[in-house]
Amino acid sequence: MDLAFLALFAGAALASLFMAWVIGAGSSGATPFAPAVGANAVSTMRAALLVGVFGFAGAVTQGGNVSEAVGSGLVGGISLPVAGVILVLLLGAGLMAVGITTGIPIATAFTVTGAVVGVGLALGGTPVWAKYQQIGAVWVLTPFVGGGIAFGIASVLPRSGVPERYSVAALAGLVGAVLANVRFSFLGEGTAPGTVRGLAQRALSVDGLASAVAVTGLAALGIAAVVWWDVRRDERGGLRRVLLALGSLVAFSAGGSQVGLAVGPLLPLLDGIGTVSTTAVLVGGGVGMLVGSWTGAPRMIKSLAQDYSSLGPRRSISALVPSFLIAQVAVLLGVPVSFNEIVVSAIIGSGAAVGGRGAVDARKILATVGAWAGSFALSFALAYGVAVAVL
């Protein structure tokens, strides 16, 4: 095997680890628990610890889809050379580092996607329009869908005619139904991914749509019953525990989505190595994100929790439920998605329901939207220009 290639691959791997650290310190590490910290349900440092652990678990068990999309699904006709991979990762991580330093939530998915497409097209690749349409639809719809769902939930939870032991339990049951059908890399037959619902069906020796609906319904009812009992006996503590559970699920989903932005560009290079498995690469990316969450996320967590709006446990629950749902849709589709966009949109939606315009900082929102749009355009332009000039 060529030693020069191995040296370049080692450089790309180090760039990937740096990118994973930046993701953990930024969007992936900050956004899942920002609503919980804003609601005073958990301290900033404990939130960073939890998001690191659950993010690592999500990276290892759900990271394959987005990693493959970033690695080979954004540009047709070519495979990025090692130097191109290094350029993509350094550009993406550099822009994210600027966001962490300034406290501006630059969107990781936008920077990495823009860099991959920019380098790929500069090197003669062809656009994959179908994938771009899918990604664009998710990016554009996320603020409206996530913010709308959060607005609806936040409008219902404070109502005196809808006791929270019922409304929050119903939300928990919905999340449980989705979770029962989420695909994990280790639950399928053989090496195939599978779901908790599928595992239960195989254990009970049943198959078909009716049994799938029944198993999903039982899972939802079971989780809803536990939450109903917990909130009924201790409303304040029960809401806090629901909030922490939702934050953990969003952190898990963030790991499954965001790790692909760090390690996805490496996957096409594995054919030149031969002995490195995709799972090993996902584990490495997960470790990088975990360390980033523990060492760099507290600043961004504090920024998101305090700067966007004044959050309570009900608004935080309203924000995290749609965040989890949208994140899992993106993981299923293999679409790189920004967790800044997901969670911030949901926070804004829940704030509008409770406090109207005065509950959110309009200037901060406009700056964030500008950062989202600008991060993709700047990343694409820089990647294209540098690739044309150097590669």
The dihedral of CA 125, 127, 128, 132: what is its sign? positive
Looking at mean pLDDT, say which of 14-18, 151-155, 315-319 comes out highest: 151-155
Domain annotation covers residue 238: no
| Spatial distance between the Cα atoms of 101 and 255, rounded to a whole number of angstroms | 22
Contact 381, 119 (CB under 8 A): no
Are 74 and 261 in contact, with CB atoms under 8 Å apart? Answer: no
Query: Which residue has better confidence, 325 or 373?
Result: 325
Reported as a single tens digit per residue, the pLDDT across 159-181 is: 767 788 899 999 999 999 999 99
Task: Decide which of 189 and 288 is more confident.
Answer: 288
Cα separations in angstroms, 64 against 54, 142, 346? 16, 22, 26
Residues of the chain with pLDDT > 90, as a percent, come to 23
pLDDT at 191 over 80: no
Whether the full predicted model's pTM is greater than 0.85, yes or no, is yes
- In the structure, what pLDDT confidence band is assigned to residue 326 with cuts at 50, 70 and 90? very high
- Tell me: the pLDDT tens digits for 58-72? 888 888 888 888 888
Domain housing 58: 3-156+257-319+334-390
CA nearest to 40, candidates 323, 303, 249, 244: 244
Here the tokens at position 169 are 């339990």
When the pLDDT of each residue in the chain is averaged and rounded to a whole number, the result is 83
Indicate if the pLDDT at residue 276 is higher than 60: no
What tokens does 45 get? 């440092």
> Is 105 inside a domain boundary?
yes
Q: Which percentage of the chain shows pLDDT scores above 70?
A: 90
Sign of the torsion formed by the C-alpha atoms of 254, 258, 348 and 365 = positive
Q: Which pLDDT does position 93 carry in this prediction?
A: 79
- Does residue 73 fall inside a structural domain? yes
Q: How far is residue 299's CA from residue 256's CA, in Å, rounded to a whole number?
A: 22
- Return the pLDDT at 138: 92
DSSP 8-state symbol, 123: T
Six token digits for residue 124: 């003669």
Q: What H or E segment, with its residue span, contains residue 205?
A: none
Q: What's the pLDDT at 314?
A: 80
Name every residue whose Cβ is closer than 8 Å to that of residue 190 and which is 6 or more positions away in sequence: none
Classify residue 177: in a domain, yes or no: no
Q: DSSP assignment of 74-98, as one string?
A: SEES----HHHHHHHHHHHHHHHHH
Tell me whether residue 161 is in a domain: no
| Inter-CA distances, 168 with 52, 96, 232, 336, Å | 26, 35, 11, 30
For residue 27, tell me if it sits in a domain.
yes
Average the pLDDT over each of 69-78, 298-307, 338-347 and give the range with the smallest value.
298-307
- Mean pLDDT calculated for residue range 348-355: 76
Structure tokens belonging to residue 114: 């823009």
Say whether pLDDT at 364 is over 90.
no
pLDDT digits (tens, 9 = 90+) for 250-260: 889 988 888 88
DSSP letters along 322-335, please?
Answer: HHHHHHHHHHHHT-
**Mean pLDDT confidence for 288-296:** 85
The whole-number pLDDT of residue 258 equals 87
Query: What is d(CA 297, CA 357) in angstroms, rounded to the nearest whole number?
Result: 28
From the list 262, 350, 278, the residue with the least C-alpha distance to 39 is 350
Maximum separation of any 2 CA atoms in the chain, in Å: 71
Can you give the pLDDT at residue 126? 92
Eight-state DSSP code of residue 314: H
Interval 316-341 mean pLDDT: 88
Of 30-44, 195-209, 327-341, which gets the smallest average pLDDT? 30-44
Q: How confident is the model at residue 154 (pLDDT cuts 50, 70, 90)?
A: confident
Inside any domain, residue 199: no
Rounded to whole angstroms, the Cα distance separating 373 from 358 reads: 25
**Residue 223: closest CA among 293, 172, 275, 288:** 172
A 10 A CB-CB count for 61 gives 21
Domain tally, the chain: 1
Q: What is the DSSP string of 333-390?
A: HT----HHHHHHHHHHHHHHHHHGGGGB-HHHHHHHHHHHHHHHHHHHHHHHHHHHHH
Amino acid 177: pLDDT: 94
- The residue written with tokens 């304040």 in the block is 236
Q: Is the pLDDT of residue 98 over 60?
A: yes
Question: Burial, 266: exposed, middle or buried (Cβ in 10 Å; 0-12, 13-18, 19+)?
Answer: buried
pLDDT-based confidence at residue 271 (cuts at 50, 70, 90) = low
